[in-house]
């Protein structure tokens, strides 16, 4: 690998921006494709497919055999609310490779005994969230049922373009949430991004089942093409 390409690759990875190294397996020629350039690249379809899957792969294009080396940031999951669902959701997400953080200013809930080995921040969202560097590779879940905690957290998620935003509550509860968020400056397009009721509709009842439904919906948001995401919902 040329030193110039290596420097560019390291810079993109440090900035948590996905990038793919394309190598001609016969000639050894290499080029780096940054996420912002995918739409204009002749390999767009294959690049987007492999990035969604988070896997490197060999492909054939234009009579050439190419290897696509995928460098995708580790996905994060920020859970706002140290509730029973979160106790099941956090370890499940960790087992799937997510970097998980739980945020809840209520210290009676956000305790190490309830969340062993999970990073906890017992602060209000305005204080807790900015240092977490929430980004487009972050799934964001608000499950406290307390507007004083969930609403500012959701507004932060809108600003940071999270790939998934979910919130606990019935359709009636979500309608009231939408009114509150609009009053605080949220756009209709922002509110439309919230998955609520949260999780795929699998008839989940217990906290553990709801956690499975949430992680299934997050996985669909991360891995499926847009059309298949709509069908999964």
Q: In the prediction, which pLDDT does 230 show?
A: 56
pTM: 0.88
- Do residues 145 and 102 both lie within one domain? yes
- Do residues 121 and 52 both lie within one domain? no
* Structural domain ending residue among the three candidates 45, 71, 97: 71
- Do residues 120 and 205 both lie within one domain? yes
CATH number of 177's domain: 3.40.50.720
Band of pLDDT at residue 128, cut at 50, 70 and 90: very high
* Structural domain ending residue among the three candidates 71, 103, 125: 71
Residues 42-62: tens digit of each pLDDT: 999 999 889 988 889 999 988
CA pair distance 58, 46, nearest whole angstrom = 10
Residues 135-146: tens digit of each pLDDT: 999 999 999 999
Q: In the prediction, which pLDDT does 231 show?
A: 57
Give residue for tokens 């080995």. Answer: 117
Residues 80-102: tens digit of each pLDDT: 999 999 999 999 999 999 999 99
- Do residues 157 and 222 both lie within one domain? yes
- Do residues 213 and 151 both lie within one domain? yes
Q: In the prediction, which pLDDT does 175 show?
A: 95
* Residue 39: domain span: 3-71
- Do residues 135 and 58 both lie within one domain? no
- Do residues 150 and 65 both lie within one domain? no
Burial of 188 (0-12, 13-18, 19+ CB in 10 A): exposed
- Do residues 57 and 112 both lie within one domain? no
- Do residues 14 and 121 both lie within one domain? no
CA pair distance 151, 126, nearest whole angstrom = 11
Contacts of 182 (CB under 8 A, 6+ apart): 188, 191
Residues 174-216: tens digit of each pLDDT: 999 999 999 999 999 999 999 999 999 999 999 999 999 999 9
Contacts of 93 (CB under 8 A, 6+ apart): 77, 100, 215, 218
Q: In the prediction, which pLDDT does 229 show?
A: 53
- Do residues 55 and 88 both lie within one domain? no
Considering its fold, how many domains does the chain have in total? 2
- Do residues 46 and 90 both lie within one domain? no
- Do residues 167 and 128 both lie within one domain? yes
* Structural domain ending residue among the three candidates 71, 90, 112: 71
């Amino acid at each position: 690998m040329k030193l110039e390409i290596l420097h560019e690759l390291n810079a993109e990875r440090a900035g948590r921006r996905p990038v793919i190294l394309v190598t001609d397996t016969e000639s050894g020629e290499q080029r780096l494709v940054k996420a912002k350039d995918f739409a204009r690249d002749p390999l767009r379809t294959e690049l987007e497919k492999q990035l969604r899957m988070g896997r490197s792969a060999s492909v054939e294009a234009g009579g050439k055999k190419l290897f696509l080396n995928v460098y995708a940031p580790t996905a994060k999951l920020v859970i706002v609310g140290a509730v029973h669902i979160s106790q099941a959701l956090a370890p499940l997400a960790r087992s799937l490779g997510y970097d998980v953080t739980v945020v809840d200013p209520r210290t009676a809930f956000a305790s190490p005994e309830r969340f062993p080995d999970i990073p906890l921040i017992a602060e209000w969202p305005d204080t807790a969230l900015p240092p977490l560097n929430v980004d487009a590779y972050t799934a964001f879940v608000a499950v406290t049922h307390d507007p004083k905690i969930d609403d500012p957290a959701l507004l932060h998620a809108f600003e940071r373009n999270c790939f998934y935003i979910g919130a606990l509550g019935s359709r009636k509860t979500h309608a009231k949430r939408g009114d509150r968020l609009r009053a605080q400056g949220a756009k209709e397009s922002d509110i439309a991004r919230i998955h609520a009721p949260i999780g795929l509709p699998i008839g989940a009842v217990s906290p553990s089942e709801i956690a499975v439904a949430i992680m299934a919906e997050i996985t669909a948001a991360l891995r499926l093409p847009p059309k298949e995401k709509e069908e999964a919902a």
